[in-house]
Structures are given as C-alpha cells and as structure tokens.
Amino acid sequence: MPSYLLLKHFHLTCAALSIGLFVARGARMAAGRPAPSSVWLRALPHLIDTLLFGSALALLVMLDLNPLEQPWLLAKLGAVIAYILLAATVLKRGRQPGLRRTAYALCLVLLAYIVAVAFGKQPWPF
C-alpha cells in the first residue's frame, strides 16, 4: 500500500516539524525573548499543524480506525487536546512567566506521552 506509507511518513514529518517548532518557540519564550515578527515564521506552525491534523484524519479514514474502539487512539487524542490547550497558555494566553514555564514543561511531558502512545499503540506506554 504505497499511498499509506507516503501518508504515514508525511504525517510523521509534520509531527516532527510541529514538535521542533514548538520546542524552539517555547524555549525562546522561556528565555524571555519576543516572538519573531516575520509573517512566515508566525504562519508556518499553523500551516504545519493543519497538514498534521489533515494527515491524521486521512490515516484514520484509510485505516478505518475509530478512536472509541481503540483505547490507545482515544488516549492519544485526549493528550493532543490537553497539549493544544496548554500550548495556547505557553505561547499566547499565559500572563505570568511562571505559569508559562510550567505549562511548557507539561507540554513537553505530554508530547513525550503522545509519541510513546503513537509508537507503542498502548494507552500506558511507560
């Protein structure tokens, strides 16, 4: 199934880019440096995350996976939602530096969990 492999590798590439950009932006924030003002640097994470989400949906359809029937997938989706909410605190919503740094650390833990669940296909991979 060549189209599956292509889509899977595209999804993994988008995930790696998304994680890398978040780590870099979060580290910049933790260091107290302002966000880049370049339009393309502000838009790139949104484009990558959109492609990541779209490829995830395409994989779900292609593999006929239902998160309600796959405990590992439901756990991963819940962690992704928590990550998105915390990442908003890190990058935009958090007013106090301590709150932003704590949210950033929790995001990193969630990212490790999401990756472990994705590769292990177990809701408790550790």
Residue 33 CB burial class (10 angstroms; 0-12, 13-18, ≥19): exposed
pLDDT for residue 1: 56
114 versus 39: which is more confidently predicted?
114
The whole-angstrom separation of Cα 81 and Cα 10 is 21
pLDDT for residue 9: 96
The residue extents of the domains of the chain are 2-120
Of the candidate ranges 20-29, 61-70, 92-101, 115-124, the one whose mean pLDDT is the lowest: 92-101
Dihedral over alpha carbons 90, 93, 95, 101 (to 10 degrees): -10
Cβ(19)–Cβ(111) under 8 Å?
yes
pLDDT digits (tens, 9 = 90+) for 48-62: 999 999 999 999 999
Question: What is the reported pTM?
Answer: 0.88
State yes or no: pLDDT of 82 exceeds 60. Answer: yes
Task: Give me the half-sphere count of Cα atoms (radius 13 Å) on the Cβ side of residue 30.
Answer: 12
